[in-house]
Structures are given as C-alpha cells and as structure tokens.
Amino acid sequence: MTAALVDGKAFASGLRARIAEAVPAFVAAAGRAPGLAVVIVGDDPASHVYVRAKGRATREAGMESFEHRLPAHAPQADLLNLVEALNADPAVDGILVQLPLPRHMDEAAVIAAIDPDKDVDGFHVVNAGRLAVGAPGMVPCTPLGCLMLLKDRLGDLTGLDAVVIGRSNIVGKPMAQLLIAESCTVTVAHSRTRNLPDLVARADIVVAAVGRPEMIKGEWLKHGATVIDVGINRVPGEEEGKTRLVGDVDFASAAAVAGAITPVPGGVGPMTIAVLLRNTLVAAHARAG
C-alpha cells in the first residue's frame, strides 16, 4: 500500500470537539442549548442504531436531543403533524426524519413539510436549490463531510478534475455542486455511464457513492489520486456465516495507486454525524439571529 489513509474517524472526533467548545457561547447568548429532534418511524434495527448514535453524539456536544418514535403502521398524517409541531417548537433548531420511511409513506412529502431552516439533513428542495445557486443554506451531511476531508488533504481544490460516481439526491448531486463551488471540473458518472474507467483515469479526485461493493478498481485510477469512498456494503465474509463491510472502491488495489484513500469503515461514515451536529449549531445561530 502506498496511499495515505484519510482518517475520517479522527477528523470527525476533532470536529465534534470543536463544536462542543462552541456550544457554550450559544447557550450564554440564547439562554438555551441548540436542539436537534430526530424522528424514527418503525423498527428497522439499523435505523435504530443510527438514531441512538445521533442522540448520544448530540448530548455529548452539549446540545439537547429530542427523540420521537412512531409505530411502523402510523398514518402519514401523524408524521406530518409531528413535523409541524417540531417546526413550531422554539426549542428545536434541527429536524431529522430518519430514512427510509415505511413504504406507505411519501418521503418527498414528508421532507417538504420540514421548515427548510430546520432541515439539518439539507434534503428539502429549497436547500437543494440554495446549494445549486450558491446561496447560504443547509448542506447534506455526507457530501459536506467528504468536502471537509478533501480540503483537509488537498487544500485549494481549484482546477482539479473530480469524478463523482453516483447521482443520488443525498450524496452524488450535492457532492457535485460542492465541488463545482470549489472550482473543480466535475464529471458525474452513474450506473449507466459508458467507459467509467476512462473517466476515472483522468480524475484527481474520485468520490464513490454508487452502492456497489468494490466496483471501482485501482487499475482505473490516476497515480496519486485522492479517493473518497462513501459506500458501506455488507458482503459475505471469509468465515461461514460472517459478514464484513466494504466500500464501493476495491481498497487493496486502489491503495496501491492512490495518493490518499478513505478506509471503510472509519473514513466517511463518522463524518456524517459530526456534520449533523455542525449543521444543528449553524441552524441554531441562524434562528437566534
């Protein structure tokens, strides 16, 4: 392996410490802690693990965590009523509705009901629009975390060639917008792209967010490229009945060619919660004026 490891876990822990240091000034000025409300519908075990982790991190940063649980069969109107109540609650600065929602619910309608200024996920179309035109707004946590890691590693990104693999509203599209704003030359590739290896071969920056285990191979990479792997895929492990986590990048071959690469786990994953706390503090300051 020749690539440097991009230690997202360490970066995220530093960011969380800096946020925790900044919270008391908000408390002193506003007379209350920043508040994050997390809503979970149903009993998906993985979602409950994420939500517990978010609540713990929120409290550790000195913020207030409000957790709301609705049963899997709750009518969508109950969720919309809850979102309305959180929109109106002055103690709540950020609202996160954990996805995916049960199939009888319309995710777009639920996200649209969140006050854009409390939308700490940055999923509301108003925030997507603000990002697209370069106006201040809430930026989705995972791509913003990726950008922080890239700037920490590379400094000024001006003029660099970036390939974003994946076009989701949550990662790929906002990632492309963020890189354009940093004056990168951005190509967005996806599952229907032709000649992906040729595109990747030109890239100084590769952000992989396709959700296909170990799809991007080291042989495709430009020597010294910086590789950010957003993928978290569970695949069968070596031992019978065991599984392991892998990214969208074939780590072993990529680490032999890249200049720097994020590991999975321990790369992008820990950044998401740290940026969620950052977005909550930003939302709290914006609301407090």
Question: Which residues contact ligand GUN (rule: CB under 6 A)?
Answer: 96-99, 121, 141, 272
For the CB of residue 101, give the shortest distance to ligand GUN in the complex, in Å.
9
Verify whether residue 98 is a known catalytic residue. yes
Closest to ligand GUN by CB, 46 or 288: 46
Shortest Cβ contact with ligand GUN: which residue?
A: 99
242 is catalytic: no
Q: What pairing do the DSSP bridges indicate for beta strands 243-246 and 233-236?
A: antiparallel
Q: Which two tokens stand for residue 178?
A: 């963020």
CB of residue 140 to ligand GUN, shortest distance in Å: 7
Q: Which is nearer to ligand GUN, 92 or 199 (CB)?
A: 92
Q: Is 167 annotated as a binding residue?
A: yes
Q: Using the 8-state DSSP alphabet, how is residue 70 labeled?
A: E
CA angle 224, 228, 232 (to 5 degrees): 140
Please give the backbone phi and psi of residue 11, each rounded to the nearest 5 degrees, phi first.
-60, -45
> Of the two residues 121 and 250, which places its CB atom closer to ligand GUN in the complex?
121
Q: How many helices (H) and strands (E) does the chain have?
A: 10, 11
CB of 51 to ligand GUN, least distance (A): 9
- In the complex, minimum distance from the CB of residue 276 to ligand GUN, in angstroms, rounded to a whole number: 7
Nearer to ligand GUN, 119 or 204 (CB): 119
For ligand GUN, which is the closer residue by CB, 170 or 258? 170
Q: How far is the CB of 268 from ligand GUN (least distance, A)?
A: 11
Tell me: is residue 183 an annotated ligand-binding position. no
Name the residue among 206, 103, 213, 110 with its Cα closest to residue 162: 206
Please tell me whether residue 233 adopts helix, strand or coil conformation: strand
Token pair recorded at residue 86: 């959180």
54 has catalytic annotation:
yes
- Cβ atoms of 200 and 179 within 8 Å: the answer is no
Cα distances (angstroms) measured from residue 144 to each of 79, 123, 138, 278: 27, 13, 10, 10
Residue 102: other Cβ atoms inside 10 A: 16
> In whole angstroms, what is the distance from residue 205 CA to residue 223 CA?
11
Q: SS3 for 126?
A: helix
Of the residues 115, 119, 121, 229, only one is catalytic, namely 121
**Given the structure tokens 């706390």, which residue do they identify?**
277
Annotated binding site: 166-168, 232
Q: What are the residue numbers of the active site?
A: 54, 98, 121
Which residue positions form the known binding site for NADP(+)?
166-168, 232
